[in-house]
Structure 1
Amino acid sequence: MDGSTPKKHVCIVGAGISGLRCADVLLSHGFEVTILEARDRIGGRICQSDQLGYTVDIGPNWIHAWTDDSKEPHPIYTLAMATNTPLHHWNNKQLIFDSNGNSLSAELTERLSTLVWQIIEMAFQQSEEAHLNGSSHTIPAEDSLYDFIRRKAEELVTNEKERGLLLQMSEMFGAYVGVPVWRQSLRFAWMEECCGGEEMFVSSNYSAILARAAKPALDSPNCHIQLNTLVTSVVTHKQRLPNQQVKISTATGSTLEFDEVIMTTPLGWLKKHHKSVFSPALPDRLTSAISSLSLSNLEKVFITFPIAFWSQQTTNSVPQNNPPGESASPCYMNWLTPSYPDSLPTNPNSWPQEIWDLSSFSPPNNYSTILFYLYGDCSKHIVKLIHNKSSAEKLALLKEFFKPYYSRLPGYDEERTECQPKAILATEWCMDELSGYGSYCNFQVGIEEADKDVLAFREGVPEKRLWFCGEHAAPFEECGTVAGAYLSGEAVARKVVDVYR
């Protein structure tokens, strides 16, 4: 656009990280932008809570930074560095409890966990090679990542007991993708390989990163952000003609018109509402993508104690001879398929549990908190258990469920007040309507064309002046991540810019 041309007016539906990055690029090219956000805040699924007595992220915590030098600098890592956001690099120490509640030896833990990740990397490699040489169809659509791990375990582990432990340990991958490992598609495992990059945890919270990403939109006179504005209807034309506009209706009864509309709404929301919101209906290829891509479920439970009693101890399971300043405590602890008596009343399905030790952060962020990651049916069970309950009821229910696990941490003593939780915070994303009652996209067994489904979102419907972005429209290997959402917003904005060049 040049100075003599009226500014084209673009509507972005959603003020999450993808919408904010999209607005940044459009504003830098002279567009007028209106962002319609249904929540009473910006950020989407990047948000915080002070319920523990300090601020924690109830949305994303991690930065999965790629290590490939051929790529551009990782955008979220770059924002973290620019805002002096502290990042934590975990040590490689683990404490794993077997199905009887007994801790495994350090040697066995290290050997089997290393092998688990080697096998998962083999699965990624097979999946990616099949994709690159056009033979993905040779991997059955119903074949799961767990099927691959089981076959490799039978090949590589002769000891039956150790093979069983390895298979149980492989279930930890469910907390990365939000579904059990036997639901994860092997054919499209390569699209989950973002988890193979450098793993960093935001040890404060994402608020400074979000503020920096939002600054261009918040500061520009050409950007208008309307909060508490739920979009209920998007009316497009059958083909692209000059001077047409897309009509948007909102729950408040207003009707607005724009030259282009970019939908950053989550996949789960599209699954629930695309048939009622878009008129005429979306193209078949896009509706197929909305239906085919799966939605994961991932929830978090933060439990804070008066002191980090578990880090005051050492056990036979924890390697010693630590570098100066490094804790002897493991950063990661896992309870494999718990079947001990005190776990079964509240967890009869024996869902495995895992925590990360947040007390290992550098000051001032080293709070005495452990973080449970829940996925699949377990996450839905916990949310259903506590939803619409009072704070006191939630605290009692969550203590009852998680006590069989934290009570097995080193140094626990039932009689010590320091070992009793003083605050618990549980997320409830699977009850969040604007997120579509789930977390992020996932590629589950049975899916036939996950890569083409993502490409359909990236392509959008330009002939209808309608575009899509978000973590489900991200670059391959970045789906389901903050970086993927950010990059998808940037990519779709550049496509709109190209239309008007």
Structure 2
Amino acid sequence: MDSMAQRPDRDSQIFIIGCGISGIGAAQKLIKHGFHNVRIIEATARSGGRIRTGRLGDNIIEIGANWIHGPSKENPVFRLACDYQLLDKESMSEENQAIDIGGHPLFVPNWFTSSGRKLGPETMGPALEFFMTLLERSQQFHSTGGEPLPSVGEFIKAEAERLAPEEWKEDRDNFAVRMAMINTLLKLECCVSGTHTMDDVGLGAFGMYTTLPGLDCTFPGGYEGLTDHMMKELPRDIVLYNKPVKCIHWNYTKNGPNTGGTSFPVTIECVNGETFAADHVIVTVPLGYMKKHQNTFLSPSFPLHKLHSIQRMGFGTNNKIFVEFEQPFWDEDCELIYLVWEDETHLTDVVSDLKMSWIRKLTGFTVLKPTERFGHVLCGWIAGQESEYMESLSELEVLQTVTQLLRIFTGNPTIMPRKLLRSQWFHEPYSCGSYSYVAKGCSGYDIDNLAEPLPLKGSNSKPLQVLFAGEATHRSFFSTVHGALLSGWREAERLISHHTSASGSFSSKL
């Protein structure tokens, strides 16, 4: 009799690669269901993955994930945050949960232009409304089909030129600045999608992303409070830190290392030469890392359809630049600052000269609120190759460029930020960017392919050797923390139900 069959199901050796919220969530669920040989292998010295809280002086800031998107009962991150009492009363209120913003927060904006003017809502409001209408239309082709162009960017640019209201054109100055505003919004949308250009985002698949109701909220004590609380519920030494995985050898027929003669189908080989034998491995590494290491991460390699989906799916960079000021130059009620380049009336969301003009991709700033907690801190948003180039500059160079930018837009030559801190997600070796998006030519099948366990159905090998979780494997919540968490739970459930159906002994635990 095969020695594998003699081990009780709950003795299965399960390894989870990556200690982000997806991996932590999977481990929690498996341990609650009686599996006791669960370990997490983490490449870095910390847990949390792309949830990372930092400090700018005395202020808590989010270097990674920023908001709970759609904080309502359907959102598992919101439910956990409430259970752990990590949110303020307003964020948990019924009113906040009921507001449906369609994924775009209703921030009170200030508009500054490159000629040093501050414009009002009577000029800029119509451009914002017009752009949001086009964006909503671009999300509808997922359900209706028949998309007229391959990408969101091409669609919005063509429709903006075609449908710009006639009365705008009669007021030439306002028309130019409104078109420049639409260009700013197009660049801002690159930050939302985590892409270099909206020309890379597939029009037909764009509407697959599903928003949840609720007014997006933040963690007063930092997002890491969530993963810290989750980690406290796990056994103390469950995580093996500082162990980057080099290769997962699956369909492994020889006896694995240090296994007392038991045969295991999977061997995990770490960069430092250590190996671990497993029955099941749940891979939760970011898609950016998978793209970079797609040829070496699995042996045998990914099946072709899975490899093609890894290549087709989009994964980009969205970075933050935090700047602190002695005094605000924005209105007291302002929550969002738009920067409008008046010479950008021809719609394009990339810059022509990366080295000279990368700063033009910085579309605006969110104001960190409340002021009592943060002082006067702005968070600038920049995506794409311009953002990746920004990472390669020194902090001083970034500070000088941002200072110059703000002096141009405010018309105030004395503005000087006190401190600056920026994220550098592209150069993080184990994420290689920020989050996934549905690229041109992608469909829901690509996300399903990413999530498909190995070996494939119909194989005679031991089932569920390598499973896949992480935000990029969730069909409707890709790019979000709740998508990552749900995908980790999904793969844990897959193993739980597999072992439940394989032996009745588990039914009492469910």
Q: What TM bracket, shorter-length normalisation?
A: 0.7 to 0.9
Residue 200 (structure 2) aligns with: 183
Unaligned regions of 5+ residues in structure 2, if any? 97-104, 170-174, 254-261, 345-352, 456-462, 501-510
Q: Distance in 1 between matches of 2:214 and 2:134?
A: 16
Cα shift readout 1:447-489 (whole Å, capped 9, x = no counterpart): 2x43111101222214461100001011x33100111100000
Conserved 8 A contact 1:113-1:169: no
Cα shift readout 1:359-418 (whole Å, capped 9, x = no counterpart): x3164x2321000011012211211222xxxxxxx23x12221124433677x8545xxx
1:152 Cα offset (Å)? 5.0
- In angstroms, what is the RMSD of aligned CA positions? 3.0
Residue 377 (structure 1) aligns with: 385
Residue 454 (structure 1) aligns with: 447
Q: Distance in 2 between matches of 1:454 and 1:4?
A: 33
Query: Is the alpha carbon distance of 1:362 and 1:351 closer, same or farther for their aligned partners in structure 2, counting shifts above 3 Å?
Result: closer
Conserved 8 A contact 2:403-2:416: no
Q: Distance in 2 between matches of 1:408 and 1:480?
A: 34
Residue 401 (structure 1) aligns with: 401
1:4 Cα offset (Å)? 6.1
Residue 113 (structure 1) aligns with: 128
Residue 357 (structure 1) aligns with: 367
Residue 190 (structure 2) aligns with: 174
Q: Distance in 2 between matches of 1:251 and 1:302?
A: 34
Query: Is the alpha carbon distance of 1:112 and 1:5 closer, same or farther for their aligned partners in structure 2, counting shifts above 3 Å?
Result: closer
Unaligned regions of 5+ residues in structure 1, if any? 315-326, 387-393
183-192 vs 88-97, which moves further: 88-97
Alignment of 1:269-348 (within 5 A): 269-307=289-327, 309-311=328-330, 327=332, 329-337=333-341, 346-347=356-357
Residue 492 (structure 1) aligns with: 491
Identical-residue share of aligned pairs (%): 21
**Do residues 235 (structure 1) and 245 (structure 2) align?**
no
Residue 20 (structure 1) aligns with: 24
Q: Distance in 2 between matches of 1:338 and 1:425?
A: 28
Conserved 8 A contact 1:338-1:350: no
Amino acid across the alignment from 1:97: F
Cα shift readout 1:225-269 (whole Å, capped 9, x = no counterpart): 100111112111189xx9642111112221110110110011011
SS at match of 1:64: coil
Q: Distance in 1 between matches of 2:452 and 2:208?
A: 18
Conserved 8 A contact 1:346-1:400: no
Conserved 8 A contact 1:52-1:424: no
Cα shift readout 1:260-300 (whole Å, capped 9, x = no counterpart): 01100110111111211211111111111111111111111
**How many residues get paired?**
448
Query: Is the alpha carbon distance of 1:335 and 1:38 closer, same or farther for their aligned partners in structure 2, counting shifts above 3 Å?
Result: same
Conserved 8 A contact 1:332-1:356: yes
1:56 is aligned, of 61, 81, 94, to: 61
Amino acid across the alignment from 1:310: F
Residue 460 (structure 2) aligns with: none
1:350 Cα offset (Å)? 3.6
Q: Distance in 2 between matches of 1:367 and 1:230?
A: 39
Residue 143 (structure 2) aligns with: 129
SS at match of 2:294: helix
Amino acid across the alignment from 2:272: T
Residue 40 (structure 1) aligns with: 45
Residue 465 (structure 1) aligns with: 465
1:66 Cα offset (Å)? 6.3
SS at match of 2:31: helix
SS at match of 1:168: helix
Cα shift readout 1:422-458 (whole Å, capped 9, x = no counterpart): 21001111111111x211111223x2x4311110122
Conserved 8 A contact 1:334-1:355: yes
Residue 77 (structure 2) aligns with: 76
Cα shift readout 1:42-101 (whole Å, capped 9, x = no counterpart): 11111122343333221111111166xxxx631111222233334678763211234534
Q: Distance in 1 between matches of 2:490 and 2:193?
A: 24
Q: Distance in 1 between matches of 2:307 and 2:282?
A: 16
Conserved 8 A contact 1:52-1:425: no
Conserved 8 A contact 1:236-1:247: yes
1:110 Cα offset (Å)? 2.1
109-118 vs 94-103, which moves further: 94-103
Query: Is the alpha carbon distance of 1:129 and 1:432 closer, same or farther for their aligned partners in structure 2, counting shifts above 3 Å?
Result: same
Give TM-score scaled by structure 2 length.
0.80
Amino acid across the alignment from 1:459: E
Conserved 8 A contact 1:236-1:245: yes
